[in-house]
Chain A
Amino acid sequence: DAGVTQSPTHLIKTRGQQVTLRCSPKSGHDTVSWYQQALGQGPQFIFQYYEEEERQRGNFPDRFSGHQFPNYSSELNVNALLLGDSALYLCASSLPGANVLTFGAGSRLTVL
């Protein structure tokens, strides 16, 4: 049973560019949440998608946007990259109404 898969695992971008990160949830899960984990810090909630809509959002600017597809997979898009966007981006999936999250291994973004 595949868990949460994320791609790419590592990527390097320059300031001002745009990036798209992808996530496939665990089989049977239909809710996807995204977290940003800066170096030496705990993960911070970005937003959550369920039924192809953003359901909850953390304190992140509009440069951060997302999408969920009919097969429950999800994308995280970040526009106009800043140096401070360098972080590990974690995707987590769950059943609706469940607080138990299954995390992927993350996508490490470096912004130069």
Chain B
Amino acid sequence: AQSVTQLGSHVSVSEGALVLLRCNYSSSVPPYLFWYVQYPNQGLQLLLKYTTGATLVKGINGFEAEFKKSETSFHLTKPSAHMSDAAEYFCAVSETDSWGKLQFGAGTQVVVTP
């Protein structure tokens, strides 16, 4: 069975500082991995995904994530936080043969302070 653990339900960062959101997964098979962002009163928007190939994945809005199989991790980073990055972020995993069926983590709320 799959599971996703996001460390830290709330993260506060200063504008211009590094954003680091941690995600660890458990899966019996190599999974597909995703990061989604949810702004207030909106649906989820895909930031980036890892399926196969290069383990460093670049996404929208300057975010990137690195798949580390040995650590079963897929941490999300952004070098310099912007006020518009304030949102909730979800890590998700999908088995390769279960397209569309995602297992989400509990989410991390990001607050950006001036």
Contacts and interface: CB of A to CB of B under 8 A. Distances in A.
B106 interface: yes
Give the dominant DSSP class at A's interface: loop
A71 interface: no
A45 B99 contact: no
Classify chain A: how many residues form its interface, as a range.
20 to 34
Given A92-B100, A94-B99, A43 B94 contact: no
Contacts of B46: 100-101
B61 to A, nearest CB: 17
Contact of B49 (A42, A100, A104): A100
Interface string B75-100: 00000000000000010101000111
Contacts of A94: 99-100
B43 A98 contact: no
Contact of B107 (A42, A48, A58): A42
Interface of B: 4, 32, 34, 36, 41-46, 49, 51, 90, 92, 94, 98-107
